[in-house]
Amino acid sequence: MRREYQMAAAFMLADNYGVVRLMSSYSFSDSIEGPPMDSVTNMTLPVITSPDMECDGGWVCEHRWSPIANMVEFRNAVAGTNRSRFEVLSSGVLLLNRGAVGLFVLTPDGIMDELINTADGTAWLTINNTDVPFVAFCVDCGE
């Protein structure tokens, strides 16, 4: 589920359609279970952060996962640009351009090794990551 959530969130953040709402949550083992609670006060527990900035105590904090946080940076960097290209290649690879500034590529199986046409020419792109099967590039977007 983590992989699919990251793919969906990455696509939402890459595109300029609609209003983005990025959620974070808690883990549970039963569908009627609520968030982490104090058993004495019956109040929701605060988010607990470990020294490595991961969430603990039943909290998941998807917004802190590196791929999601990086896509938030990408979205902020390409803000104000429109989608200039949306294409699904015969290989199943999804390409999304944000003007001449940003390029988002998602390959559902995590494997890609092909030449793609970009706004300025062509680029050979290789992705070999089944856990995080997407990449985003931003041209002249600062640091």
Residue-wise pLDDT for 100-112, tens only, equals 889 999 998 899 9
Residue 130 lies in a domain: yes
Residue 35 lies in a domain: no
Residue 29 lies in a domain: no
Residue 85 lies in a domain: yes
Instruction: Give the model confidence (pLDDT) of 14-53 as tens digits.
Output: 999 888 888 778 888 888 888 888 989 999 988 878 787 7
Q: What is the pTM of this model?
A: 0.80
Residue 133 lies in a domain: yes
Identify the helix (H) or strand (E) that includes residue 80: none
Q: 40 CB contacts (<8 Å, ≥6 apart)?
A: none
Residue 8 lies in a domain: yes
Sign of the CA dihedral running 136, 53, 4, 114: positive
Q: How many domains does the chain have?
A: 1
Instruction: Give the model confidence (pLDDT) of 68-88 as tens digits.
Output: 989 999 999 999 999 999 999
Number of H helices, E strands in the chain: 2, 8
Residue 47 lies in a domain: no
Cα 122 to its chain centre, rounded Å, is 25
